[in-house]
Amino acid sequence: MKRGPSILMLGGGEGWHADQLRQACIRHGCTFDLADYESLSACVGETSSVTCSAGNVQSFDAVLTRTMPAATLERITFRLATLHHLHRQGQRIVNSPASLEIAIDKYATLSVVADLGYPVPETRVVQSRKDAMEAFTDLGGDCVVKPIFGGEGRGVMRVGSLDLAHTTFSTLDQLDATIYLQRFIPPGGCDTRLLRIGGKITAFRRTNTSDFRTNQTHGGQVATISLESWQSELADRVCDSIGLVYGSVDLIDDNQTAGGYRIVEVNAIPGWKGTQSVCNVSIAQQMIEAVIPNR
């Protein structure tokens, strides 16, 4: 009996998402394993290899990248270098290391989106408290401050006063953090997420009556909405420009732009627990179908 494809999920750990992907693999006759980024090791010499807690990474037919945890610059660079090493050797990696290098960085991602001609929130990225205070004033004194790395709304806060700005930027400066500020666009608490997996795109409306953040972890509610042709074209163009096989594009409403929206973020490793609750197809199954080689 022919063995089905073997898939390694790298990052993310055990939990709901891993369970969903494991079940989808079983339905497709695939084998599924997972490993943490922290377990990656590399060998270069007469033989070259990359190993992890699940074994030799080259022995898997495909690698599905999930959340890469915070670490030192050296470790982040090493993890990406191992993915590039595998990719050069012909390993199927979804999403690719080149796309991850862009998409894990909010500034790099937003600059790609802006270069494509899409409207984005006015954004400043600085490296000192002094420059952050100037940017805060320049952006109208009401901003959303985000970590340049990270997702699911973690570390995101709205800053609407000089006192809070001074305290926030002083703390970030002491931590040697890059300070990423976006002009707050009212009313907050609502956005549209375009989820693309392979060639399939689904649109969701996310709302939160108690917080400007719409992530499920902060109380956001989600509903499916009809996908418009311009949204489909937008999601394809943005994801293709970054190199994402699967990803999400988040749009906020803004009647000050010609299209009535701005692209606020692109996510290379979107969670889908909330969206699955209102979606009548298996998102994990769509992901596995996009990952399996030669599909």
Instruction: Give the domain ranges of the chain.
Output: 6-94, 103-119+186-280, 123-183
Integer Cα distance of 84 and 178 in angstroms = 26
Q: Measured between alpha carbons, how far is 82 from 181 in angstroms, rounded to an integer?
A: 32
By 3-state DSSP, what share of the chain in percent is helix, strand and coil, each rounded to 5?
A: 35, 25, 40
> pLDDT by residue for the chain (295 residues), tens digit each?
457 899 999 998 999 999 999 999 999 999 999 999 999 999 999 888 999 999 999 999 999 999 998 889 999 999 999 999 999 999 999 999 999 999 999 999 999 999 999 999 999 999 999 999 999 999 999 999 999 987 666 789 999 999 999 999 999 999 999 999 999 999 888 999 999 999 899 999 999 987 888 777 676 889 999 999 999 999 999 999 999 999 999 999 998 888 899 999 999 999 999 899 999 999 999 999 999 976 5
Q: How far apart are CA 64 and CA 61, in angstroms?
A: 10
Question: How far is 124 from 138, CA to CA, in rounded Å?
Answer: 9
* Three-state secondary-structure class, residue 142: coil
Q: Which CATH fold topology does 6-94 show?
A: Rossmann fold (3.40.50)
Residue 1: the pLDDT is 46
User: How would you classify residue 178: left for phi > 0, otherwise alpha for psi between -120 and 50, otherwise beta?
Assistant: beta
| CATH for the 103-119+186-280 domain, from 3.30.470.20, 3.20.20.10, 3.40.50.1980, 3.30.200.20 | 3.30.470.20
The H-assigned helical ranges of 28-105 are 73-88, 97-103
What is the spatial distance between Cα 155 and Cα 153, in angstroms, rounded to a whole number? 6
What CATH topology corresponds to 123-183? Dna Ligase; domain 1 (3.30.1490)
CATH topology identical between 103-119+186-280 and 123-183: no
Other Cβ atoms within 10 Å of 127 Cβ, number:
13
pLDDT digits (tens, 9 = 90+) for 31-76: 999 999 999 999 999 888 999 999 999 999 999 999 998 889 999 9
